[in-house]
Amino acid sequence: MTEASLDSQMLESSAAMSKELVTQQNVLSNIEATEAREALYLKNQRDSPFLRLPAKLRNTIYNYVLGGLAIMAPHSSSWCRIQVLSIRPAPEELWQFPRHFLSIVQSCRQAYSESARLPFVLNTFDAYPSYSFLQFVENLPEWQRNEISMIRISCNEAYDWSVAEQYEIVMGDDFIRHMRYHAAHVVDRSTHRLLLILKGLKLLTVDSYIDLDWPEDQKNQELLSKAKSNYRRMMEAMAWMKMELGRDSVSVTFEPYVKHPSH
């Protein structure tokens, strides 16, 4: 065996030993880092005034901090703009509520495990426009999407009034009897899809706007009466849609915003 081949073997052997040593050091380093994190978690549980509170009291605090809000998903004319729900700090002017109300979720591992689902469970999401909100929820991780329990939609978003009126003209007195077919055609497709994919949905609130500041003549009173009738029909259509999708557990409420006469 030549001197050159011996040198080559020695170099290869040395490189292999160095690589193995680095691997062992990395493993030891990872173990030490993991042990350090675990020690920190245990220290937080033991020393943190918040984590030492009874679980029931912590849950009450979580509910006050993270719940009772109306959350508007971001939307724009760009279909692809919405990607994920971020809980990172945002510019103050972009927030209707304090910018760090989700900080408690990020504070430590235990707080995250106890509260990560609550912003989705305890708040009402404004699903307007419905197609944009649909994109928003479809880009959420499945576990977050399934925790959404309350959404609010616009009456004009949920129900195609022009199609409904045309269908009524054609069907006449058979309208209610054919409500199943009617519902499939007049309930907005995005609303239909939301009912289908939001597995944890419990309450769907339908917003509408009724202006009572119209002149009190016969024509306007007839229009108001027709509007109220249409809202009732819309609710019936939504009820049929729930049944078709097997979502009978979802409560649908009609909540009109009424503008009262100024005089």
Domain boundaries, the chain: 1-47, 53-259
- pLDDT band at 174; cut points 50, 70, 90: very low
- The predicted model scores a pTM of 0.63
Q: What is the pLDDT of residue 49?
A: 86
Higher pLDDT, residue 88 or 43:
43
Q: What is the pLDDT of residue 206?
A: 77
Backbone phi and psi for residue 247, each to the nearest 5 degrees, phi listed first: -115, 45
User: Half-sphere exposure (CA, 13 Å, Cβ side) for 103?
Assistant: 7
Q: Average pLDDT for residues 91-117, to the nearest whole number?
A: 73
Give the tens place of pLDDT for each residue, 10-56: 556 655 555 665 565 555 555 556 667 677 667 766 778 888 889 89
Q: Average pLDDT for residues 166-187, to the nearest whole number?
A: 46
Give the tens place of pLDDT for each residue, 186-200: 566 777 788 888 999
Q: Name the nearest CA neighbour of 68 among 32, 119, 142, 134.
A: 119
- Any idea of the CA torsion for 19, 24, 29, 31, to the nearest 10 degrees? 150
